[in-house]
Structure 1
Amino acid sequence: MINQFRTSNPINLLLLFAYTFFMRIVLLVEIPDALNFEFLEPYTKFFLQIPLTSAFSPTTNVIAAGLIIFIQAIIFNIIINNHGLLPKPGYLPALLYITGASLFMPFLVLSPTLICNFLLIWMMDKLLKIGKSQNVIMIMFDIGMIIAVGTLIYFPFIVMLLMLWLSLLLYRSFSWREWVSGLVGFITIFFFLGVFYYLNDNLGMFYKIWLPLANKFPATFKINYNDYLVLVPVSVMMVLAMIQLRDNFFRSFISTRKAFQMLFFMFICAIISFYTKPNFRLYHFLLCVPPGAVLLAYYFSNASKRWFYESLFLILVLAIQYFLFV
């Protein structure tokens, strides 16, 4: 299967579409009685009402989520190939994106993070352009606005603001205009939001938006390890990918090295941002899928022992299906 998706054969699009819904077969076989979908944060619903949650039956919810994942995978695949992060273009990024977006049951249905991944993929594309552009002020401004829109949908997305400056540290020499422009883009969106709250005599509610940023990072975690056993094969692949990346690191283009460092920071930001939402759900970690999928695709595009990497991927797919059904 991996060998098939290493190529740019157009038939892979049909295979990816079928694979997307195969990974969701557990929900298609036994549709839940009800699935709740909260599209926006409460502070966004105050001024923007979208009658979306009631419009989706459980069946429509599952199918719509599958279609969104498929569309995101194709966009993601185009971006990774355009930036040349893999040895040769193919459909491995899309395959690994769909696989990563099928790890847990909450990943299979509509969620705010699923919508935010459109913004995260768009943001990833812009960040990868920083090292190739002479003037990045407008790029940073756009990224700041993208993060602000993501924060309106799902508050923990705000932690991606760190990526503005981490990326500049990696790609650019210091320029205060570039460091400020992204923040200005972010503030622009929330300035208009603040004006709306002020005109409706709810400025105190606007202040409460930012209170989760003062949350303490949890010192203890309550984890049911049985729920996360599916991550064992993923962890093995990630370790192998990092070993592969280390071996090729100084033989790669400088832009490729910096790109993978940037994606690593994005992966970490996606993980740690959960602390800003005390009642966060497992679907939060869907934000880790885009940067994680690039690393996995890098491993499978460079792996040489076919029997090993094909078996490893098959084990992952079977493990996902087993833990979804049980």
Structure 2
Amino acid sequence: MINQFRNLNPLNLILLAAYTVFMRLAIFINMPEQLNFEFLEPYAKFFIQIPLSNSLSPSANIFFATIIVFIQAILFNRIINNHGLLAKPSYLPALLYITGSSLFLQFLILSPPLICNFLLIWIMDKFLKISKTPNAMMTMFDIGMIIAFGTIIYFPFIVLLIMLWLSLLLYRSFNWREWIAGFIGFLTIFFFIAVFYYWNDNITQFYKIWRPLTNLFPSNLQIKYNDYLVLVPVSVIMVLASLQLRENFFRSFISTRKAFQMLFFMFVVAIISFYTKPDFRLYHFILSVPPGAVLLAYYFSNAKKRWFYESLFVVLVLAIQYFLFV
């Protein structure tokens, strides 16, 4: 299967669509009786009313989630290929994105982080471009605004502000205008939100938006390890990908090295951002799928022993299906 997706054969689009449905068989067969979809954070509902959460049936919820993941996979695939992060253009990024988006049952439903992945993929594209532009100020401003829109949908998205400065450290020499441009873009959106709250004599509620940022990072987490056994094959592939990347690191273009460093930081930031939402759910971690899928695709793009990497992928898919049904 991996060999099939190592090229840009248009037939792979049909196979990807079928694969997306296949990876969701568990939830289609065992359809939940009710699924609530909260599209926006509570503070955003004060000025934006979208009565979507109560109008979608469980089947419609899962259907739209499937379509969204497929579209995101195609967009993601195009961006990774355009920036030449893998050995050659292929459909492996889309394949691994769909696989990563199917790891847990909560990944298979409509959720705010799933919607935010459109913005995250867009941000990835912009970060990968900033080394190629003479002046990154407007790009950083745009990224700041995108992060603000993501924060309206799902508050933990705000932690991606850290990526503004991490990416500048990796890609650009110091320019104080670029360093503040992204933050100004972020504040621009929330300035208008603050004005709206003020006009409605509710400015005290606006201040409460930022309270989650003062949360302490949890010192211990209640983890049901059986629920995360599916991550064992994923971790094995990531370790193999890291070893592969290390072996090729100094033979790669400088831009490729910096891109993978940036994606690693994005992967970590996406995971740790859960602390800003005390009642976070497992679907939060779908934010880590785009940067993580690049690393997985890198391994399968460079692996040499076909019997091994094909078997490893089959084990991964079977493990996902087993834990989804169980």
TM-score by length of 2: 1.00
Which amino acid counterpart does residue 38 of structure 1 have in structure 2? Answer: E
- Superposed CA offset, 1:184-227 (max 9, x none): 00000000000000001111100000010000000011100000
Structure 1 residue ranges without an equivalent (≥5): none
1 CA distance for matches of 2:147 and 2:155?
10
Q: Which residue number in structure 1 is paired with residue 259 of structure 2?
A: 259
- Superposed CA offset, 1:76-124 (max 9, x none): 0000000000010010000000000000000000000000000000000
Task: Tell me whether 249-258 or 51-60 shows the greater mean CA deviation.
Answer: 51-60
2 CA distance for matches of 1:184 and 1:23?
41
Q: Which residue number in structure 1 is paired with residue 245 of structure 2?
A: 245
- Superposed CA offset, 1:54-74 (max 9, x none): 221000111100000000000
Tell me which stretches of 4 or more aligned residues in structure 1 moved more than 3 Å: none
1:178 paired to 2:178: yes
Q: Which residue number in structure 1 is paired with residue 214 of structure 2?
A: 214
Q: Which residue number in structure 1 is paired with residue 162 of structure 2?
A: 162
Q: Which residue number in structure 1 is paired with residue 189 of structure 2?
A: 189
Which amino acid counterpart does residue 12 of structure 2 have in structure 1? Answer: N
Aligned residues: 326
- Superposed CA offset, 1:229-259 (max 9, x none): 0000000000000000000000000000000
2 CA distance for matches of 1:316 and 1:299?
14
Which amino acid counterpart does residue 310 of structure 2 have in structure 1? Answer: E
Q: Alpha-carbon deviation of 1:27?
A: 1.3
1 CA distance for matches of 2:79 and 2:53?
31
Q: Which residue number in structure 1 is paired with residue 19 of structure 2?
A: 19
2 CA distance for matches of 1:151 and 1:304?
42
1 CA distance for matches of 2:69 and 2:253?
30
1 CA distance for matches of 2:234 and 2:17?
22
Q: Which residue number in structure 1 is paired with residue 105 of structure 2?
A: 105
Q: Which residue number in structure 1 is paired with residue 33 of structure 2?
A: 33
1:276 paired to 2:269: no
2 CA distance for matches of 1:42 and 1:54?
15
Q: Alpha-carbon deviation of 1:182?
A: 0.2
Q: Which residue number in structure 2 is paired with residue 153 of structure 1?
A: 153
Q: Alpha-carbon deviation of 1:30?
A: 2.1
2 CA distance for matches of 1:212 and 1:110?
23
CA RMSD of aligned residues (A): 0.4
Q: Alpha-carbon deviation of 1:32?
A: 1.1
2 CA distance for matches of 1:63 and 1:215?
35
2 CA distance for matches of 1:193 and 1:322?
45
2 CA distance for matches of 1:100 and 1:126?
22
Which amino acid counterpart does residue 39 of structure 2 have in structure 1? Answer: F
1:57-136 mapped onto 2 (5 Å cutoff): 57-136=57-136
Q: Alpha-carbon deviation of 1:21?
A: 0.6
Q: Which residue number in structure 1 is paired with residue 3 of structure 2?
A: 3
Q: Which residue number in structure 2 is paired with residue 309 of structure 1?
A: 309
Which amino acid counterpart does residue 230 of structure 1 have in structure 2? Answer: V
Which amino acid counterpart does residue 29 of structure 1 have in structure 2? Answer: I
Q: Alpha-carbon deviation of 1:51?
A: 1.3
Q: Which residue number in structure 1 is paired with residue 323 of structure 2?
A: 323
Which amino acid counterpart does residue 157 of structure 2 have in structure 1? Answer: F
How many percent of aligned residue pairs carry the same amino acid? Answer: 75
Which amino acid counterpart does residue 169 of structure 1 have in structure 2? Answer: L
2 CA distance for matches of 1:236 and 1:200?
53
2 CA distance for matches of 1:98 and 1:247?
27
- Superposed CA offset, 1:239-295 (max 9, x none): 000000000000000000000000000001001100000000000000000000000
Q: Alpha-carbon deviation of 1:75?
A: 0.2
**2:44 alignment partner, SS class:** helix
**1:53 alignment partner, SS class:** coil
Which amino acid counterpart does residue 6 of structure 1 have in structure 2? Answer: R
Q: Which residue number in structure 1 is paired with residue 232 of structure 2?
A: 232
TM-score by length of 1: 1.00
1 CA distance for matches of 2:93 and 2:131?
22
Task: Tell me whether 145-154 or 52-61 shows the greater mean CA deviation.
Answer: 52-61
1 CA distance for matches of 2:110 and 2:138?
32
